[in-house]
Amino acid sequence: MVEGQALELSLERLAQDALACNQCPLSNTRTNVVFGEGHPQADLMFIGEGPGETEDRTGRPFVGKAGQKLTEILKSVKIERDDVFITNVVKCRPPENRVPARAEVDACADWLTAQIGLIRPLLIVTLGNTPAQHFLGRNEGIGQLRGKLYRWKGGIEVFPMFHPSYLLRYPSKTKGSPKYLTWLDIQTVAERMSFLRSRIPGS
């Protein structure tokens, strides 16, 4: 079996295990565990906060209005959803779409760490406050954290961006607006990926 197939199998196995998870109270109210989807060997991952109503119903990440906005943002720099891996810090919907509690994020962290360990991306883009604070271990808001490169555990690069739902709430495109800054940020992501890929031997 070639390495890619083995990886795909182990990611599927991880997903099967996650479907049975009841390590936090979110498991009592979920319809589906939203494990994540995309390329099993993606070199770029997008990590949001937690599933919303549509995601809970369908079992797929970022497929509601915020997901459509994310797809649009990706398309603006010719990134296809199938080429990246998209998931969330918590795999079950917080009731009423509230922000997940610290204990819920901590209870779910091993699934996320295992996903990252199997996929081994070059860059992780976090979307919104919760994943940025989780990866960076910092309390500042996304307005302060976004648009800069960090390293997670001294290794994989992390680049925080605004959550796409924030752009839906503040649709202005003027200079300095969330939409304007996101447009700059996704270009930085595309440029950084070109650079990181160019450093891979044989690329």
Residue 54 burial (C-beta neighbours within 10 Å; 0-12, 13-18, 19+): middle
Q: Which one, of 85, 72, 37, 82, lies nearest residue 186 by Cα?
A: 72
DSSP 3-state helix, strand, coil percentages of the chain (rounded to 5)? 50, 10, 40
Round to whole Å and give the CA distance between 35 and 53. 15
Q: Among 50, 94, 121, 178, indicate the residue that binds ligand URA (CB under 6 A).
A: 50
Residues 77-96, interacting with ligand URA (CB under 6 A): 88
> Are 135 and 151 within 8 A, CB to CB?
no
Q: Among 38, 40, 52, 94, indicate the residue that binds ligand URA (CB under 6 A).
A: 52
Round to whole Å and give the CA distance between 9 and 3. 10
- Please report, as a single letter, which amino acid is at residue 100: P
State the residue number with the nearest CB to ligand URA: 48
Round to whole Å and give the CA distance between 23 and 136. 23
Q: Among 33, 66, 73, 167, indicate the residue that binds ligand URA (CB under 6 A).
A: 66
Q: Does 38 bind ligand URA (CB under 6 A)?
A: no
Residue 194 Cβ vs ligand URA, minimum distance, rounded to whole Å: 27
Name the residue nearer to ligand URA (CB basis): 11 or 46. Answer: 46
Q: Among 38, 61, 121, 178, indicate the residue that binds ligand URA (CB under 6 A).
A: 61
Residue 117 Cβ vs ligand URA, minimum distance, rounded to whole Å: 21
Residue 38 Cβ vs ligand URA, minimum distance, rounded to whole Å: 12
Which residues of this protein are in contact with ligand URA, per CB under 6 A? 48-52, 55, 61-62, 64, 66-67, 88
